[in-house]
Structures are given as structure tokens and as C-alpha cells.
Amino acid sequence: MRKSLFRASALLTALLIVAALAGCDVPNGNKLTVGVKGDVPNFGLYDEESGNYSGMEIELAELLCRDMGYDGAKLVTVAASDREELLASGAVDIIIATYSVTDERREQVNFTESYYRDMGTVVVERSSLISTMQELRGCTIGFLRDSSMKLSTAEYLAELGVLKDFDPAAFEAGDYRGAVDFVEYDSYEELSDALERGEVDAMAGDRSIVKGFVDEDRIVLPGDFAVQEYAAATSRTSGLFTQLNEAMNARLEDGTIDRLIVKWGN
Amino acid sequence: MAVRREKKQKAVTDEKRRNYMMSRTALGLILLLVIAASVLTIMVNTRLRLTSDQIYATNRVRIDTVIAGLQAGISENDDLSAEYDAIFTAKLKGANYMYDGFESVDFFNKTAADIASLMGVDAVAIIDSAGKTIGRYNCGYDFTIRRFAMLRACSNEDGTSEPFSIHYPDRTVRFFGMNVAADRILVFAQDWTETEENIQNATSWEAVLRGMVSVDTLSIAVSLKDYSFLYNPVADLTGRDALQNGVPIEALNDGYEGELEFGGETYCVVGRQWGDAMVYVMTRAGTNMANDTVLLVFLAVVFLLFIAILSVYGIIINRDNISTGKRPSYITLKKRTDPKTGEVRNVLNFNLTVAKKLLPITLGGVVAVTALCYYTQSITSLSSIAYESNQAIANIGTKLERNTEDATRLNLQYKEVFLDTCSTLTNILEENPDLLYNFSPEDEKVHYYPFEISENGGESTGLDRYGNPAYVQSEHPFLQELCRINNIAQITIFGEDGRIMATSGTGWWFQISDAPEAQSWDFHEILSDHIDYIAQDLAVDEEGNLSQYIGSAYYYYTYQDPETNETKYASRADYQQQLLEYNTTHQWNGPVIDKVRGVLQINIAPERLRSIAQTATLSYVADHTTIHGTGHTVICDTSDEHRCVYSPREADIGKTAAAMGYSPLAFNETGEMYNGFETLNGVEYFQTFKMVDEQNVFIGTSVPMDTVYSTRDSMTLITFITVLVGFLANFIYTCAFGSSEELMYSEDSGAAPDWRLRNEKDTVTITMPSGKTRKARTAASRWDAEYIPWWSKTPEQKFAQIAGWAFDLFAYMLFLCIVLSRSGVVTIDAINYVYEGVWTKGLNIFALTNGAITLIVVFVIAKLVEMVIDNMSANIGSRAETLGHLISSVIHYGVAIFAVFYALYLCGLDTGSLIASAGILSLVIGLGAQSMIQDILAGVFIVFEGAFRVGDIVTIGDFRGNVLEIGLRTTKIEDPAKNIKIFNNSTLSGIINMTKEASYAGIDVGIAYGEDIRKVEEVLKRELPLMKKRLPAIMDGPFYRGVSELAASSVNIKILALCKEADRIQLCRDLNREMLIILQDNGIDIPFPQVTLSYLEGGDGGNGEKDSREKEAEELESRV
């Protein structure tokens, strides 16, 4: 009797120890560095007080890294203009930061399949009495610096006939004169303030971002344009690309991406 | 050898048996704990789930209230905003009305500053429809940009543009525009920073949501645009990002229900989407659970105690069987054949003897625990409702305070608005006397005021200050226009004597009173220059309309025309001009203009203020207070009949409390909470009533009983099933045994040891009148029951003792809980809410619980006191012991009587009259209880005088024995034959107390007359010391004490020996025997009674009678 009791308790203790150990996380494992946005609600947002990131792209980064066999993602905030540089220098392994696919960019980076489709949006103040894109003739539109939205908007306006004789190349080169003025700002906050003060008559940007700046005194102009595809990117020379692309495709197929989009209200 | 081997075998079997029993006991203990723990876990989890369900249900109702509140808040916001906008739009219109010539730039530049100061506007501009600034004052905006398109459009019907604000980095500006001429737009630009803040503050998320707080419940909101907390008072999270701070993304969906954690606490949350925000109502999950868990633990402990003593009982029975060699009856459930030896062994058996004894107690235990669960759950439910109701009532007071604060604040803001209006109006009026004082006496609207002016503004003549007739113009067109522009109901102007000079309305026959009680006294204060402005409170006028009167100081400038002597009116500018000139030239230029103080009065009929005032009323707050989701609130005043001033059912308002069916106990003025049950319209409610001092009302809450008890029934059912399974598991384990019979009993247990005999000695088989036999305890053993040693008790007696201990333990535990709870060390809500407050007296659960708690406390205290007395008196001595015993008896009876009376009192019986009527009873009883009282008194005196004590040897009458007990009424004496005689104390007289250290055993021995007494003495001298050795009871002696009597037949000598009183009687007999032997051995004659006969000469006495001596001889002969 006593012997069996002893054996039983020894077994129990052993089990407990194993369970305890299993619960421990091995710290500082093998992680990939992923560049993300820190100022875009629902995609990549950084909260200084808690030190946490939140957003769809954050979750996606973590998932993809684990799919690729790593222990997770080490997150780094990137600005829109630095993305190519950071990839090229190797400071980050992957970019998942509202990075839209353009042919130009393809020359420098590898894009996976797109995980999100965004569009261009134009927002105006109610008091400006602008209600359609056509009425933007003679107005000033504000954009985020170096975003691809500027060109897309101009093209769309040309389509609508607001801009006559539009030349994209010249436009890109900075050589442009037209019925609409295009102005750039360093951040969306500044752009929003400018719109408020009347410095610009309209603000244009990615719908996913701009919709956060719409209050009851502003309206969104109707019209879909400048569709953008967001995708994850690596440098051209990166060896991770194949794995990353596979992982992304898998997630697209099994519905994870869709779930994430719905979850984050996009 | 064989014997030794046999002994060894027996020893081995004994050891095996012991080991087996020990291991079974150990396993049994573990099983007990496991069962009890599982039962507890199941109950706690069920309770958790049920409580959560309840919380979610309540919060679903609450969130509707919150949303409604938000809706109201938004309307308020909009209303206030609209109000402010309206003011400025009115200013625009006023300016438009007053000034002509905006086409000309010149004109504008001249008048811009005037307009600005007149209207109280920061910046003014005139622009054309393209936005080009024609003229401006203090205004530097570029109105050509698209941003101002709406301003330029002036698309409203009245030619104004829709106001809008622009938030500049340092300030917010609101723009108002009006088309005043062709291609001319008048623009007012006003700093709106503070106004916006005021509006926001009045109706912010915080303002609305913080009012939703009750003790454990609060409301928060998260913006769906930037996911920050719009309001979260926990851990100061307002403004912080919600996603990072406890709100998962899934929670941001309409209809979300779940648990969230803020500030280290877990909350049960119900969420609803409202516009661009998620609103949540959440209740702290922790608090209630603690109290509930306590009661569940209590229940589990009771359960554990039960199965523990059941198991112990089983063990006791088994051990008893083993010791006495009694074979238990059992059935074999499983047999196994050993393949090697072919032996058949019983692998699983079920002990029927034990089962028979255990089964009824097991079933009883299931019922008891279930009943206890039902009871405690009822108490819990009621307590938590009582608690919630109490909180709700307290909250009403707080909410009212807050609403009143909010109302006051909003009122103030509106007053600001009105003050602004007044100042604008006074400006306009003071600058435009010709628009105002242009009445001609022939006009039918102009009236002559037939009263005299007097100095104190009382009676007035029909003359003004210049002696000219004074007029009043009613329905003044200019004033009416101003009313229309400014959207106010009426404008009235009062002159220096308090009479009306002009009014937009029809009523002109009014004068401001100089009596302080009058309603118009406030305006008198303005007249007399004590105050400049007054806004009266909202009032209901004769027609039942809400209105508010605002008064402001107003000056008019009047002079007498030197030629016509008519009373004329000048403008403020004129007056100031004249004053300026006088100051420089010291000469009046023209007739002296008097500046006279009057009163401008406007009358508002604000719909918004009506709703504000409403929220500050008790009924509004009560209406918006939910208790437990389904309860409602009722308010009664403090008059004698306690009329209802508010009830969700309109029909109830005005009824007396009695008519509504409320108990008069509910209205106690001490501020204590009343709890009780009432049936209204066939539905039973749980009611709480409490007086709220500040509002001077009684607030009561009613919750339908089926809501209250919703969790109880589910819990009881789950508990019943769980406990049943637990009890049965324990039962089966206790009765089953798996090994061979030899371990369960042994046939050769040998002769029954002493204790068996003793036990049999204590019981006797008697035959009842019905013919049945039963075992009864012997008289003696009944009173020394405590002294039966453990091992000599039957299993039933042991079980009874253990059960007794368990019950005591239970009572002590309860006592501890009650004391801790009452002294505030630990809060057990359930117990607190039973004790506190006023309860209806009646056969309800709270009276019963209160009674039970009080009784437990009283019993335990009595028992402790008795224990102390017993211990003390045992140490002091037997007298104290007797006394102690007496006191214990008194305590027993006293407690019993108190308990009965208290229980009756709680159940509603009027014990006061009961005791009073006991006066008559006591007479009856007194007569009948005479002897009893005598007994009691006698007993008291016996003890105090110490006539005899417990343990003494006394002789009363012919009964000699040990004093067993001196009771209140009777004394029990036990003789050596273990007979017990019970005496009434009052009959105890002629007591011989034979308790002494030593007594003398004395015998008289008869010696024949023929013996030589000296020889006898020699013999005795020799033999008596030897006798001492043979009789150990002799302490000293025996002594020869001489001849005690020269008797008829013998010479009697006395022998005395010192001994203990207890030994005395026996020693006498021993002494007799010894003396007989000694005398016989020494040839000393012990005579038998002799009579010497002598015959007389002659025959009988003549009539055949024998004479006495003959008779004697015959007698003797017959005897011998």
C-alpha cells in the first residue's frame, strides 16, 4: 500500500514539473524583422504608452512569420518614403505597411499577392459646397507627400474631363499646369488641418486612412478611383521571398485574410 | 508449539486486518475530500454561470437606458447649439433691420464699429457674393476661398446662411452671414472657442455616462473612428487607445457580450453600437461572487461533515464487528478463481449490515443538504436584491443631485444667452428712442395710466416726472418685431415708477410691486439699483404654460421740451453727447436730458428648459432607475398617510400608502431600510423602503419575486443532483469491501472483554405494555452517561457522540461567522442584510433566519458560559460544583424560554400582550406551582447553607445513600444497591449527614452471664489487635468499651472500631463475625435469650387463663 502511494505521488510530481516547463516560452527566439506603419488605425498603429502595435497588418506579420517557420515577427515602424531603402539595406526583412503595388516599385522590390484592396477617396468640407469630383475644377487638393495617390487622382480627374490635356509623365516630373492644384503635406494630420482652415479645398488619400478624418462637418465625394493593392514586399535579392509568397497565398486561400479584414472593420 | 504457531498466525491476521482497515480509512479520507471538492466546484461554477446570466440580462436592460440618455444628451447638445446660433442669427437680422445702406462702403465703415458693439459681435465684414471684402471691422479672413462657399450662398429662406465653425490652431470661429442688399452679405465672425467648450461640457460623454454609475456597474464608450475611449473612468482611460487597453477588436461589434478587464478588475459587459461609437454597460464580476462563494463553501463543509461522520460510522460498525466477532451480513458481487490454486476468492462484496444502518442517514443527509442549499440560496437572492435596492435608492439621491447640478449649469448657460439678448435689446432700444416712444394718444393701443407717481414706486398718478400724462403702448410693433427676430415671447419696458411704458403683448395694466413677497419683487430690485439683471426660475403661468421672465436694467433718456412742455425722449448717444459738452463748457446745451433707470423684461417659453427642469425632478430619476432589470420605483411623501407622489402607474399617484397595500412598518423615520414581502394585484413582490432625508420622501422599490428567485431553483436542482451523487458514492464506498471475509471479522475473538460487560450492565431489557421488548438504560447509567468510556459504547452511541460533536462544531462555525460578520471584520452580505434593516414580522424567511441566527448565538454563548462555570467550579470544590450546576440549569431554562418567546415575536405574535396576559396565567400557574416553587427555594437554601453536597453520604428517613445530584427541584440519592431515590427538595427534612472522614463501627456482643468478665477482657486484649490486621477497613481499634448493658439474657459489651463511613456497615458485620469466632475459639459463651421459669403452687387463676409467666414460657418455647 505504502509503496504504491509513493509511486503515485512521484508520478504526479513528475507530471506537474513537465507541465510547468511546457508552459514556459522560450525567449528571444528566431524572429524576422518586419516593417509596419505606426500611425494608420486598423492597419498598423503604435501605442506609445503600452508599447504595443495593433492592426490587421500586425497580426498578418505575426502569422506569416510563424508560417514560415520562425518564432514570430519583430516589429519596426517605417515611414512611407523609407520603405524601399530599408528593404535594400537589409534593416528590415519584410515590409507589410500599407505598401501599394506599382510597376515602378516592382523594379526595386518583390511583391507578394495583394492582401488588401484600397481605393482613393476625396474629402471636402461641407461649407465648401463641393459635392462632386467635377466641381473640383479650380480647387486645390492636398495629398500625403510621396504617395502614389497624387498621380492616380490626377489621372482620374483627367478621365472625368476636369483636367484637359493631362500628361502623366510631365506631371510626375513636376511640370504641370492645370485646372486643379496639387499640394503635398508631410502627414495626414497636417493635411486635415489644412482642409479645416481652407488652405486646401479637398483632401485625397487612401480610403482606409482618410475615412478616419471624416467628421460631421465633412463629406466624402462619390467616385471610386485609384485602386491600390497592398502587398507584402521583400528586397529583390532576399531569399525569403518564395517562402513569404507561399505563406501569403496559403493564408489568402484559407480565408484568414478575409477574416482579418472583417475583424479590423475594413 | 502448535499453540505458538496458532498465535503467530493470529498475529499475522490481526496485522493484516489492521493494515487493511488503515488503508481503507486513508483511501476513504481522500475520497471524501475529492467528493467534497468536486461538489463545491460544481456548485461554484453553476452559481457563477447563473450569476453571469443574470448580470447580462440586467445589463441588457440598462444599456437601453444609457442609449436613451445619450440620445437626450445629443438633443440637448443640438438644442443648446441651435440656441446659440439663433442668437447670432437674430443679431444679424437685427442689424439688418436697424441699418439701411449697406450698399455703400462708406456707410459700412462708419457703422461697422457701432454694429459690432451694439450686437456684441467680435468681427464684422461686408462682402460681395464672390467673397471680396468690401468693408471690414476687426475681420481678416479671406472669404473668397471655397471654404466660405456656404457663407456666401446665404441659402436660407430668410436670407441668412447656415452657420459653421472653423477650428484654427489657436481658436474656433463661427461664421454667420446674411444677404442684406444686392450682392452684399453681412458677415459676423464670432470667437466660438468657449461656447463650443461649454456646449461640449454640458453634454459630453462624461456628463451623460457618469450618471449611469451604480455601485458595481458603470458605462463606457469607445469611438469607432479612432478606437479611443470616449469615456472610461476606470484607471483614467478616457482618451486612451481602447484596443491597447483592454478592448479586443471583437468587442467592437454591436450586441457584444463578454468579459473585459480594466484596471485589474474583470467586468461582464454588454455593448451596443450608437452612431460612431460603441457604448458599453459593465458590471464588476468579482464582488457578488465572493459572498456567494462563502455560502457555497459553507454548504460544502456541511456536506463534508455529513459524509465524514457517515464514513466514520461505517468504520466504527466494522471495527465493532471485528472486535466482537460478529459476522456482518454481506453479498458478494464478484468472485475470482485463482488459476493456480483453484481457490475461489470474493473480490467485491457489499456489506449489508452497514448499508442498512447507513442508508436512512444518507438519504436524510441528501434531503438536509438540499434543503440547506434551497434556504441559503433564497437568503442569498433576497440579500442581493435588498443590497441592490438599497444601492439603487442611494443612487437616486446621488443622481438627483447630479441632475440638479447639470440642470443648474445648463440653466446658467442659458442665462448667459439671455443676458446677451437683453444687452443687445437694451442697446437697440437705448439708441432708437424714436422707434420706441412714438405713440400718439389717439392710437387705440395707447392707454392712459390713471395712477399717481409716488416716490417709493407705489401708487402713481397718471402723470410722468414732468407732470405730463403717462401713457402705455400695448402691442407695440417695434417690440413685436424684436420679439420675432429674437424668438422671444414678449418684451415689456417698465418706467421708473414700475409701470409699463411699452409692451409687445396685450396686458398693460401692471405695475412692479414693492412688496418683497410678490413675484415681481425681483424687478423692483432692478429698479432700485440693487441688481442689474435677474433671471427668474421657470414657472407655470395661469394658463399652465411654462415660462421664464428675465429682467435687465435699462435706461431711457427723457427731457421736457422747453416750448411745448411735452415729455420727449432722447437716445443714449444724445445724452452722452450732452454730458460731454457740459463737462467741457459747463453749460447745458439745450434742455437737460435725464437718464432714468427702468426695467427691460423679456419672457421666454423655452421647450429645452422644460426638459432640463424635468431631469432634475425625483420622478424623472426614479423613472430611469432600474432595479435588477424588472423592478420599479415608487415614491411616497412624509405625510401621515404617506401618499404616493410618483409611480410608474399613473393611477397610483395620490393614493395613500394603505390603499396601495404597503405595510405601515415601511415608513420608519429612523432612516433604516425596511424589507418585506407584499402582494399587489396578485403578484408577489419583494419591497424595500427607505427615507431619503434630503428630498423628504420615502423611496421604495419593488421587484417581482420570481425574478428574485430565478437562480435559486436551478442552483438547488444542480446541488441536489451533485450531492445525491456524492452521498451515494460515499455510501457505496463505505459499504463495499474487496477482500476476504477473514479481514472483516474473526470468529475466535475470545471472551468478551470487560467493556462488553460494563455495557451490558448499563442496559437492561424490559418489556413494554404492548409486549415488545426493548433495551433501556439503567437508572444509574442515565446520569453518568458522560462517563462511559469511549471504547465501551455501542456503535450507535459512538455515532451519536460524533454527530453531537459535528453539530457543535457546526454551531461554533456559524457563531464565528456571525460574530465576524457583525463586528465588521469580514463582510458576508447575506448575513448583514438579514440583520440590518427593519423586516416585516411574519412567517417569512428573514424572520426565520433572524430567529435562527439569534438562537444559535444565544445557545453557543450559553454553552460557553456553562463550560466556563463547569471548569471553574470543578477547580474550586464540590460546593461550587453544586452551585455551578444550579446556575447551568437556570441558564438552560432561561434560554429555552427566551428562545420560544423570541421566535414567536419574530413570527409576528405580539409577545408583549402574551407576557401581559401571562399575568393572569401566572396567578393560575402560581397557585399550581406552589410546591414547585417551594422545591426550588428549598434547593437553593440547601446549597447555600451547605446542609449537604453532592457526593455526601446522608440518611433521610430510612434511606441511606450517596447524594448524586442536588437539582433545582429534586435531589437524587443513590444507595449501595444502586437504587436511586428521588426526593422533592421541600420534603428533605431530618437529614443526617454522615459524611465524615471516619465513623465508628460499633457492635454490641452479648456474653453469657456465667462468664467471667475479666477473662473475656483478657481475651479481647489479646485478640483485638490481631483483628485489625485481618480487617483492612479498620482504621483504628477495635476498642473494647466496656459493658454497655446488663440485658435480660446476656451481658452486652461494646466493641468499637474506627473506619470510613462507607465501610461502616460491612465492618459491623465483619466485627460480628470476628467476635463470634474469637468467643467461640476461646470458649466464651454467647447466650441466646433465656427465661427462667418458676411455677407457683396451685393451678390457674380460676378462669382458665394462664398467668403471664406461663404465657411467656409458651411463647418462648414456640419461638425456639
Question: In whole angstroms, how far apart are CA B504 and each of B41, B599, B606, B966?
Answer: 79, 14, 18, 105
Q: State whether A125 and B250 contact (CB < 8 Å).
A: no
pLDDT band at B9 (very low <50, low <70, confident <90, very high): low
Of residues B622 and A125, more confidence is placed in: A125
What is the DSSP code string of B653-717?
A: TT--HHHHT--GGG--TT---EEEEEEETTEEEEEEEEEETTTTEEEEEEEEHHHHTHHHHHHHH
pLDDT, average across residues B298-313: 84
Segment holding B293, helix H or strand E: helix B286-324
pLDDT score for B437: 81
Question: Which residues of A are less than 8 Å from B243 in CB distance?
Answer: 45, 47, 54
Please tell me the total count of domains within chain B.
Answer: 5
Q: State whether B164 and A126 contact (CB < 8 Å).
A: yes
Has residue B1062 been placed in a domain? yes
d(CA A262, CA B503): 65
pLDDT above 90 covers a percentage of chain B that reads 7
CB-closest option in A1, A196, A265 to B166: A196
Q: State whether B148 and A54 contact (CB < 8 Å).
A: no
Has residue B1048 been placed in a domain? yes
Has residue B97 been placed in a domain? no
Provide the β-strand partners of residue B220: B280
Judgement on whether residues B965 and B1074 belong to the same structural domain of the protein? no
**pLDDT at residue A60 greater than cutoff 70:** yes
Q: State whether A126 and B150 contact (CB < 8 Å).
A: yes
Judgement on whether residues B450 and B597 belong to the same structural domain of the protein? yes
Q: State whether B153 and A212 contact (CB < 8 Å).
A: no
Cβ neighbours of B60 (radius 10 Å): 15
Selection from A10-14, A52-56, B897-901 with the highest mean pLDDT:
A52-56
> With an 8 Å Cβ cutoff, is A193 touching chain B?
yes
Q: State whether B147 and A198 contact (CB < 8 Å).
A: yes
CB-closest option in A49, A130, A212 to B225: A212
pLDDT digits (tens, 9 = 90+) for B625-654: 666 666 777 888 877 778 887 777 777 777
CA distance to partner chain B, nearest, from residue A72 (Å): 19
B589 close to B559: Cβ distance less than 8 angstroms: no
Judgement on whether residues B564 and B459 belong to the same structural domain of the protein? yes
With H, G, I as helix, E, B as strand and everything else as coil, classify residue B73.
helix
Question: Which residues of A are less than 8 Å from B240 in CB distance?
Answer: 47, 49
Mutation for testing the A interface, residue in B150, B227, B244 having most A CBs under 10 Å: B244
CA distance to partner chain B, nearest, from residue A123 (Å): 13
With H, G, I as helix, E, B as strand and everything else as coil, classify residue B1059.
strand
Question: Which residues of B are less than 8 Å from A130 in CB distance?
Answer: 146, 149
Exposure class string for B384-419: b at 16+ Cβ within 10 A, else e: bbbbbbbebbbbbbebbebbeebbeebbebbbebbe
Of residues B462 and A25, more confidence is placed in: B462
Question: Which residues of A are less than 8 Å from B169 in CB distance?
Answer: 193
Has residue B167 been placed in a domain? no
Q: State whether B166 and A50 contact (CB < 8 Å).
A: no
Residues, chain B: 1120
With H, G, I as helix, E, B as strand and everything else as coil, classify residue B579.
helix
**pLDDT at residue B680 greater than cutoff 90:** no
pLDDT digits (tens, 9 = 90+) for B491-530: 999 988 888 888 998 877 777 887 887 778 888 889 888 8
CB-closest option in B149, B225, B245 to A128: B149
pLDDT band at B568 (very low <50, low <70, confident <90, very high): confident
Question: Which residues of A are less than 8 Å from B153 in CB distance?
Answer: 129
Contacts of B631 (CB under 8 A, 6+ apart): B389, B392, B701, B702, B703, B704, B707
**pLDDT at residue B434 greater than cutoff 60:** yes
Question: Which residues of B are less than 8 Å from A126 in CB distance?
Answer: 150, 164
**pLDDT at residue A123 greater than cutoff 90:** yes
pLDDT score for B751: 42
CB-closest option in A50, A196, A197 to B244: A50
Question: Which residues of A are less than 8 Å from B225 in CB distance?
Answer: 211-212
CA distance to partner chain A, nearest, from residue B99 (Å): 28
**Nearest Cα residue in chain B from A210:** B225
Judgement on whether residues B688 and B648 belong to the same structural domain of the protein? yes
Question: Which residues of B are less than 8 Å from A52 in CB distance?
Answer: 244
B60 close to B773: Cβ distance less than 8 angstroms: no
pLDDT score for B314: 81
pLDDT band at B822 (very low <50, low <70, confident <90, very high): confident
Please report, for the domain that includes residue B1045, its CATH number: 3.30.70.100
Q: State whether B19 and A263 contact (CB < 8 Å).
A: no
CA distance to partner chain A, nearest, from residue B155 (Å): 11
Of residues B530 and A24, more confidence is placed in: B530
Residue B689 phi/psi, 5-degree rounding, is: -130, 140
The radius of gyration of chain A from alpha carbons, rounded to an integer in Å, stands at: 24
CB-closest option in B147, B224, B245 to A125: B147
Has residue B1103 been placed in a domain? yes
Question: Which residues of B are less than 8 Å from A41 in CB distance?
Answer: 226-227
pLDDT score for B627: 63
B217-223 and B229-231 as β-strands: parallel, antiparallel, unpaired? antiparallel
Nearest to B381 by CA among B206, B588, B628: B628
A181-185 and A140-144 as β-strands: parallel, antiparallel, unpaired? parallel
Of residues B976 and B917, more confidence is placed in: B976
Judgement on whether residues B448 and B592 belong to the same structural domain of the protein? yes
Q: State whether B241 and A47 contact (CB < 8 Å).
A: yes
Has residue B139 been placed in a domain? no
pLDDT band at A26 (very low <50, low <70, confident <90, very high): very low
Residue with cell 477482657: B1017
pLDDT digits (tens, 9 = 90+) for B371-382: 988 888 887 777
Q: What is the ipTM of this complex?
A: 0.72
Interchain CB contacts (distance < 8 Å): A and B: 70
Judgement on whether residues B574 and B457 belong to the same structural domain of the protein? yes
B186 close to B119: Cβ distance less than 8 angstroms: no
CA distance to partner chain A, nearest, from residue B167 (Å): 7
Q: What are chain A's domains?
A: 25-117+229-263 (3.40.190.10), 119-227 (3.40.190.10)
Domain boundary among B995, B1027, B1049: B995
CA distance to partner chain A, nearest, from residue B80 (Å): 17
Selection from B6-15, B163-172, B633-642, B708-717 with the highest mean pLDDT:
B163-172
Judgement on whether residues B988 and B1006 belong to the same structural domain of the protein? no
Nearest to B43 by CA among B339, B307, B315, B374: B374
Question: Which residues of A are less than 8 Å from B245 in CB distance?
Answer: 47, 50
Judgement on whether residues B576 and B678 belong to the same structural domain of the protein? no
pLDDT, average across residues B726-753: 65
pLDDT digits (tens, 9 = 90+) for B688-706: 888 877 767 788 888 888 7
What is the DSSP code string of B909-934?
A: --HHHHHHHHHHHHHHHHHHTHHHHH
With H, G, I as helix, E, B as strand and everything else as coil, classify residue B837.
coil
d(CA B866, CA B375): 31
Domain limits for position B983: 929-995
**pLDDT at residue B828 greater than cutoff 80:** no
Contacts of B714 (CB under 8 A, 6+ apart): B46, B50
A64 close to A232: Cβ distance less than 8 angstroms: yes
Segment holding A34, helix H or strand E: strand A32-36
Judgement on whether residues B934 and B1070 belong to the same structural domain of the protein? no
Judgement on whether residues B455 and B597 belong to the same structural domain of the protein? yes
Residues, chain A: 266
**pLDDT at residue B149 greater than cutoff 90:** yes
CB-closest option in B164, B225, B250 to A127: B164
Question: In whole angstroms, how far apart are CA B689 and each of B94, B398, B485, B645, B647?
Answer: 57, 17, 52, 14, 14
d(CA A239, CA A243): 8
d(CA B1034, CA B805): 47
pLDDT digits (tens, 9 = 90+) for B183-196: 889 999 999 998 88
Amino acid at B290: A
CA distance to partner chain B, nearest, from residue A239 (Å): 34
Selection from B146-150, B617-621, B860-864 with the highest mean pLDDT:
B146-150
Interface of chain B against chain A, CB under 8 Å?
A: 19, 23, 142, 145-151, 153, 162, 164-169, 224-227, 240-241, 243-245, 249-250, 252
pLDDT, average across residues B589-608: 83
Tell how many helices (H) and how many strands (E) occur in chain B: 27, 38
Judgement on whether residues B456 and B553 belong to the same structural domain of the protein? yes
Has residue B448 been placed in a domain? yes
Judgement on whether residues B471 and B533 belong to the same structural domain of the protein? yes
Has residue B431 been placed in a domain? no
pLDDT digits (tens, 9 = 90+) for B38-75: 888 888 888 777 777 878 887 887 888 788 778 877 77
B547 close to B604: Cβ distance less than 8 angstroms: yes
**pLDDT at residue B10 greater than cutoff 70:** no
d(CA B270, CA B255): 7
Average pLDDT of chain B, as a whole number: 78
Question: Which residues of B are less than 8 Å from A42 in CB distance?
Answer: 227
**pLDDT at residue B181 greater than cutoff 70:** yes
Please report, for the domain that includes residue B946, its CATH number: 2.30.30.60
CA distance to partner chain B, nearest, from residue A152 (Å): 23
CA distance to partner chain B, nearest, from residue A104 (Å): 33
pLDDT score for B842: 61
